Structure 1
Amino acid sequence: MQRIGFVVYPGFHLLSLAALSVFEYANLATGDPAYEVELLSVAGGAVRSSIGVTVATTKVHSSPYDTLIMAGGTAVVSSPPELIEELRTAPDRCRRVMSICTGAFVLAEAGLLDGRRATTHWFYTRELAARFPDVKVDEDRIFIADGAIWTSAGACAGIDLVLALIEQDLGATIARTVARKLVVYHRRGGGQSQFSELLDLAPKTDRIQRALTHMRRNLQMELSVAQLAKVANLSPRQFSRAFQAETGQSPAKVVERLRAEAARLMIEQSRHPIDVIARQAGFADRDRMRRAFLRAFGQPPQAIRRSLRGEPIDIAVSAIEP
């Protein structure tokens, strides 16, 4: 049986504990419990969450764990020196050290993320990068497994993180069974975007909004700057400048991302061949779609389709592929 240490602190986000249900259902799926979970804190005893619910914990100690997981919170808080000291030696006695959401700040403070790729909730990624410049922060990933150190985005992404752990330990069949029991999507790949950045596009003028609407409705067409400028009733030069100013992105980048998101949806909801999906989404060929997927999601279309089918994938590669 593998021992899991789950570290909480005053003000931790209660939703972080949702990840523990994955271990519970994994034990039920195997019949013979594979995991033993222990809640830990610096002082031990009752620890109050950010919503006011308290949990009973054991004082953090130096016993070996297979996996040590740091909970996250609704805000970044300073870490007690005792906890930082324990975490610094954790890789010597734990096979894996993980964090959920803002728990990445605690791992970073302990030096565990130096020189590694890591992520956290999108709201805090820039702060993580600014405070810890030696950390290679990737702000648009569900989770990242960099060797023995794993980090995840928001609290719900902790479920994806632990499902990936279950798949690594017990195989894809058990991980898929657990996901079904929890009524969640079978482990979103680590390379999946935390959110659709295009939802945040809020142009100030009707002209640029018309161009965006035209893009979405005509992905199969050639969407050149000249054509989009005509829709917006602007010159190509004026349109490019206005579009960049109002959305923060170039027209070409937005078109590519819209096509990639449309193609991903088709991969998730249909069995069409990759070549057919590429054409329907407006890509010239499957190779261009593959390059767009790597830029947008960190993994190629084939990897996403394999994960949907429940086929095992290389977690370390898919989660950190540039």
Structure 2
Amino acid sequence: MPRRIGLLIFPGFQLLDAAGPVAAFEIAGRFAPGAYALQLVAAEPGLVRSSSGVAWAAEPLADGPFDTVMAAGGYGTAGAMACPRTLAWLSAEAARARRVASVCSGTYLLAEAGLLDGRAATTHWGRSQDFARRYPRIDLQPDRIFVRDGPVWTSAGITAGIDLALALVAEDLGEAVARRTAQELVVHQRRPGGQSQFSALVELGGQSGRFADLMAWMRERLHEPLGVERLADRAAMSPRHFARAFAAETGLTPAKAVERLRLEAARLRVEASAEPIDRVAETAGFGDAERMRRAFIRAFGQPPQALRRAARA
């Protein structure tokens, strides 16, 4: 019996939010024939235009039961949030489905439908501050590629929907099929849900690039003390003003950004080399291996040794 997947779209949806998971499920079905039956649905059926202008044909909001209900995201999310029929359908079908999922800002739709209260979730980093203000009862984890809390899965922006879909395939059909699907998609490797989505923002120096030079300076000195006073002096700002401005630009405190840069540098060394873990911890600025191990578990959900084994596998 195929697993029936209902994928919700709406005017202004992000095309890849839907196309990525659709492609993953479709390709997985080549390796496990009959595994999935895909159905695009919308409150206003017919041709539904994405934010790119490309339109997809969707069916009416259908009665389940669905195995999986998934909501796309995109610039049109606000309109979908204001549609009572959409929210009522999500709420009703999620109650009957085995699991419910969202891609990018589709997390807002799950939240508006009351499906995330008291649960952990994530969304695109650019919407994290707004999401946290709107939904204080949801445990937002903004530095995750995707988050699973029981039967509810949420993912970060756009391509993270592929990572989420591959994780769902792995749960349904096993790691071997998920790995073959990833290879067919020419995805270098499946990213674990705990991997950070903040790298791009940090690399750019914030939303406007204001702190790009400072970030480059920090990356060259990760093994040195990088307290807020030193960073503020480098930025020619008072510590208090710097801390506020930096958090507004990046969504991170200076201390958290330093840790993130150290984590990314250490992760690359852990996965790409045979360098001793304690040496990686020292050169990345953690000081000792135990401190780095705790930081890895917080950020990636796994200790350094587990990430090294996975990379070698």
Q: In 1, distance between residues paired with 2:213 and 2:53? A: 47
CA gap of 1:69–1:282, structure 2 versus 1, over 3 A, is same
C-alpha contact 2:123 2:156 (8 A) present in aligned 1 = yes
CA deviation vs aligned residue, 1:94-130 (integer Å, no higher than 9, x gap): 1110111111111111100111111111122222222
Task: State the TM-score, normalizing by the size of structure 2.
Answer: 0.83
Choose the corresponding residue for 1:199, options 200, 203, 209.
Answer: 203
Output the amino acid matched with 1:8.
I
Q: In 1, distance between residues paired with 2:139 and 2:95? A: 22
C-alpha contact 1:189 1:304 (8 A) present in aligned 2 = no
CA gap of 1:305–1:164, structure 2 versus 1, over 3 A, is farther
Q: CA deviation at 1:307?
A: 4.1
CA deviation vs aligned residue, 1:59-113 (integer Å, no higher than 9, x gap): 1122211111111112432332122112112233211101111111111111001
Q: Does 1:292 align with 2:295?
A: yes
* Structure 1 partner of 2:180: 177
Q: CA deviation at 1:243?
A: 5.8
* Structure 1 partner of 2:20: 18
CA deviation vs aligned residue, 1:138-179 (integer Å, no higher than 9, x gap): 222211111111111111110011011111112222212111
C-alpha contact 2:205 2:214 (8 A) present in aligned 1 = no
Task: State the TM-score, normalizing by the size of structure 1.
Answer: 0.81
C-alpha contact 2:120 2:139 (8 A) present in aligned 1 = yes
SS at match of 2:34: coil
Q: In 1, distance between residues paired with 2:48 and 2:255? A: 50
Q: In 1, distance between residues paired with 2:163 and 2:277? A: 25
Output the amino acid matched with 1:199.
E
Q: CA deviation at 1:295?
A: 4.0
CA deviation vs aligned residue, 1:197-226 (integer Å, no higher than 9, x gap): 532447xxxxx9987655433444x43659
- Mean Cα displacement is larger for which, 193-202 or 111-120? 193-202
Q: In 2, distance between residues paired with 1:226 and 1:21? A: 45
- Mean Cα displacement is larger for which, 251-260 or 111-120? 251-260
SS at match of 1:77: helix
For residues 1-322 of structure 1, the aligned pairs below 5 Å read 1-16=2-17, 17-30=19-32, 32-79=33-80, 80-196=83-199, 197-201=201-205, 215-220=218-223, 222-223=224-225, 244=243, 247-248=246-247, 253-309=256-312
Paired-residue identity, %: 47
CA gap of 1:105–1:219, structure 2 versus 1, over 3 A, is closer
CA gap of 1:210–1:111, structure 2 versus 1, over 3 A, is closer
CA deviation vs aligned residue, 1:211-254 (integer Å, no higher than 9, x gap): 7655433444x43659968x96x9xxx98567646644776555
Q: In 2, distance between residues paired with 1:146 and 1:55? A: 30
Q: In 1, distance between residues paired with 2:228 and 2:24? A: 51
- Mean Cα displacement is larger for which, 80-89 or 127-136? 127-136
Q: CA deviation at 1:302?
A: 3.3
- The count of corresponding residues between Structure 1 and Structure 2 is 301
Q: In 1, distance between residues paired with 2:259 and 2:51? A: 40
CA gap of 1:273–1:87, structure 2 versus 1, over 3 A, is same
C-alpha contact 1:12 1:50 (8 A) present in aligned 2 = yes
CA gap of 1:155–1:209, structure 2 versus 1, over 3 A, is closer
C-alpha contact 1:243 1:250 (8 A) present in aligned 2 = no
C-alpha contact 1:201 1:247 (8 A) present in aligned 2 = no
Q: CA deviation at 1:285?
A: 2.2
CA gap of 1:251–1:19, structure 2 versus 1, over 3 A, is closer
RMSD (Å), alpha carbons: 3.2
* Structure 2 partner of 1:319: none
Q: CA deviation at 1:53?
A: 1.6
Q: In 2, distance between residues paired with 1:149 and 1:176? A: 23
Structure exhibiting the larger radius of gyration computed from Cα positions: 1
Ranges in structure 1 where 5+ consecutive residues have no aligned partner: 203-207, 311-322
SS at match of 1:10: coil
Q: In 2, distance between residues paired with 1:302 and 1:263? A: 12
